[in-house]
Structure 1
């Protein structure tokens, strides 16, 4: 007897054909895109330490690797939880539509269920499409945060890997569930919640300030004889100019708070963020220790106190200056003629009529006592480091998409101009802090008010406070459309720096309730906006949700696809080339914000 013929179509080909047969906005398609995108964001950073470390060759390394894989692929992993939130919302929305269209069967044995179903159908029918989408996303978002915050119930014993052999999830803010006890530490999902909150608030603000422009018939004329469409476009440009100004103000306020926390409360900022600021600012940590000692009243010019006694004297000697230059028992606390006499006795130049630490120590031995040279040299150093950061950010997207564009003089000049502009922004950010510090404590303000002690000028509301206020104004150097993404990048960190550490680490139910409510509303707003008001989204949130919710054939993600039988029109065939410049620009913005 002959065996039945086997199917010549491989399994993966059958799956591929099935996926291609369903729309790109089908809940299954949305779930698959969400899962693999989320998995790449969470699993990559988790596996990187194992790739770079030699611990994977040991038994403990493989145990830790197994733990990470089990965590990331588990129900409480970031990928599964976000898929439940995004894909689950799309599935519930489709279920609502199906439920509203189908009439219940008239089975006399289930009258109660029929009545309940009819009541729910009447409730659903009264909702608008936007409200139904929002309701579905509210439910799925609650499921998502509940999965992310599932407690870890793994038993600990001697055979299991130690904590130091497993990458800490707190270093990966997108992937961390809560453990059973949250007292004494902040929620591991807090960074993700604040990120969603900022993007959702931005969407709401843009919906209010930039409503969707209506299209009128050709020939319609406004009050002043201007076409309605042209008049609407003018209003839209004015609103965009307003939002760019708001973006600049938001960045300025956020950078002021972040820099002040960098000086005095670094525990409020991510550790990696502190290290990055430290490397760009090129400041000696002993200067930071002195600033924090002044704030804690452990260092005082007026009281002649230093705790520890060698807090700055050793730093002064390391720079090649006398130890007395860092001793508050000798340094003049006030300005005036008395301070000038002290400096003459100590051999300090260029500091007549002002007190406090000599600028040679504050500068860290760079540029001597010349404050202008110090700010200029640090600005040039920051400019060089910024070029190394922004060069690949601006060039790499073009190389990946259309490398031949770099051979065009206009594209090359535009790219170089964008690189120089971004580097100038970061350079001005750094140099303005240093110059404002010296302007306050040495060049002008301290000389203008010599009766005010340097406990104030070098304190938390003196030179560093003014420097933190001034540095954010450098955002005006950047392009207008980039200010918004940069403001959205720093705003979550600024909000985190404003929250009470005591309350966040208290373990109270109010903390968990507030975070869950914020997460649910924020994610629901973003998902609803991506379906009904995509123009209210921008930057990474818009591009990511456009890909997740509608697939790679939507918007600037549009690429050439195989024809499924419908002949392509000239418009469809030329669409990718029209969008290529947008791809280059937006990929550059995406990579820039990741830095």
Structure 2
């Protein structure tokens, strides 16, 4: 008599490796498969959206109800992760369906059905349009991106009414997807520029085996074209950074609401300006504070600032300070007992410099002001850039640090970046002083200091000069920094009413920009990857092509490697 079969409760549990193998078998091994693309996209998008949302909640120790609401928002179908996955992964699925349609069997032996007949007619109609593979990829991404941005904006609009997002300081009516749209627009334009640079320089990314013999380049020609491409790219990146930094710095002084609050706070930390001095500059722009007409409503603004610095309150009084340079200004400075400002008007440099150099008795020196600020910025920048140089190496290839040349190169790279930031700050400050005190105001004493201290005087000079420090950085860093500041500069140039309007026309324009930009980037990642660079190159390559190993691999990589070696040995036998 045989014993009864064991009950389900007493059955041995399945080993974890078998469960993992079963899970792996559900996913295709091809890293460019639409399902793999969707999984990678969702994982990366969820990391980018959920991480910044959870950090403030954890640090502030908010209630469990708020945490649940944030999690429900991020994991919902209208959340950022799902919407972005639909925009990116959806295009891959549509493109795969397009491939199946192109490969549809049209032989007479195949059974005739209404669906097959309709598919053949659709394929014939598409074939008559003579679309290239890149055009098919672009149109597939246009469809999915259109659905993705609609879903994303719907989710952002719904979450904007919650108390969590109301506390974030966003402008009422402002699009919550505008920053993302501008980022995609800038990256798409950069891809177009890189394609133009490659054609202009005569550089080609195809290998010689893929070109006609007549077009194949020699090693010397490839080197020359590469140098031309790099030189042209560097010039464009430098000009973009210079123009963007000038616009951003000008907005910092006069329209800070056009910039992200975190960006404004960072610039304010570097600048080290007293808020009262910033307010006076803005009042000069609106003619509410004037050396010629005084400022009855704001006369105490800089008077209190001067007293706090230990100087006479009259040094900050626009009704007393000389509006022009020359002998009349010298009479005022003689009454004040001030000898460092002969020949020019305006507020004394001691107020502009603030407390910098006061402990050394150098608060009146423009050179000392720029130099001491530069030393402070340099030390802070070195503390920032050294980890930036070493942490990626430690995480990716720590054995490289065993080579002293790599260590020295990382240190020199950090010092070079710190020197760039130092030059950015010091050149700004010194340009202001050269304009309003040292050179130009002395050459033109008949020009009022309402101009020299206004938006088109010293401030504009500093904004135009500081960005030229980008030439200190190496070529690759110039490109990264240009792409970093460009979206912020573009937003700073948009009309404020347009940004805050939120009407149907603005949303439609943003959707079109989003769709075209994202579709262009995804098409470039699939067909023209050489036009992408920086984070867009890495991120889109990871999403579209996958890492060196697929997200989930059905086969064991060592077994694959062993099989490849055996095949190579077999092919080499006579």
Q: TM-score, normalised by structure 1?
A: 0.85
* Contact 1:46/1:68, CA 8 A, preserved across alignment: yes
Give the one of 372, 375, 393 matched to 2:370: 375
Structure 1 counterpart of 2:292: 302
Distance 1:282 1:216 in 2: 55
Distance 2:158 2:192 in 1: 41
Q: Does 1:14 align with 2:18?
A: no
Give matches, 1:548-563, under 5 Å.
548-553=543-548, 562-563=557-558
> What's the CA shift string for 1:461-487, capped at 9, x where partnerless?
110001000000000000111101100
Give matches, 1:380-419, under 5 Å.
380-419=375-414
Q: Higher relative CO (CA 8 A, sep ≥ 6), structure 1 or 2?
A: 2
Give the one of 240, 256, 265 matched to 2:230: 240
The total of aligned residue pairs comes to 542
Cα pair distance change 1:545/1:454, threshold 3 Å = same
Distance 2:186 2:510 in 1: 13
Structure 2 counterpart of 1:54: 61
Give the one of 464, 467, 471 matched to 1:472: 467
Structure 2 counterpart of 1:579: none
Structure 1 counterpart of 2:535: 540
* Contact 1:27/1:91, CA 8 A, preserved across alignment: yes
Give the one of 326, 330, 339 matched to 2:316: 326
* Contact 1:530/1:546, CA 8 A, preserved across alignment: yes
Give the one of 352, 359, 365 matched to 2:349: 359
Cα pair distance change 1:269/1:420, threshold 3 Å = same
* Contact 2:27/2:35, CA 8 A, preserved across alignment: no
* Contact 2:159/2:165, CA 8 A, preserved across alignment: no
Gaps of 5+ in 2: 358-362, 566-574
Shift of 1:236: 2.6
Cα pair distance change 1:169/1:190, threshold 3 Å = farther
Give the one of 312, 324, 327 matched to 1:337: 327
CA RMSD of superposed structures (Å) = 2.9
Structure 1 counterpart of 2:207: 215
Distance 1:170 1:561 in 2: 47
Structure 1 counterpart of 2:187: 199
Cα pair distance change 1:19/1:354, threshold 3 Å = farther
Distance 2:126 2:220 in 1: 39
SS at match of 2:173: coil
* Contact 1:312/1:326, CA 8 A, preserved across alignment: yes
Give matches, 1:96-107, under 5 Å.
96-103=98-105, 107=112
* Contact 2:188/2:521, CA 8 A, preserved across alignment: yes
* Contact 2:299/2:318, CA 8 A, preserved across alignment: no
Structure 1 counterpart of 2:486: 491
Structure 2 counterpart of 1:250: 240
SS at match of 1:565: helix
Cα pair distance change 1:162/1:536, threshold 3 Å = closer
Q: TM-score, normalised by structure 2?
A: 0.88
Structure 1 counterpart of 2:453: 458
Structure 1 counterpart of 2:568: none
Cα pair distance change 1:553/1:487, threshold 3 Å = same
Cα pair distance change 1:554/1:467, threshold 3 Å = farther
Bigger Cα Rg: 2
Distance 2:51 2:175 in 1: 22
Gaps of 5+ in 1: 56-60, 173-181, 571-595
Structure 2 counterpart of 1:145: 149
Give matches, 1:482-521, under 5 Å.
482-521=477-516
Structure 2 counterpart of 1:2: 5
Structure 2 counterpart of 1:35: 42
Give matches, 1:79-118, under 5 Å.
79-103=81-105, 107=112, 110=114, 116-118=118-120
Shift of 1:185: 2.2
Distance 2:439 2:226 in 1: 44
Shift of 1:88: 0.7
* Contact 2:234/2:478, CA 8 A, preserved across alignment: yes
Cα pair distance change 1:216/1:565, threshold 3 Å = closer
Structure 2 counterpart of 1:447: 442
SS at match of 2:301: coil
Give the one of 183, 189, 194 matched to 2:177: 189
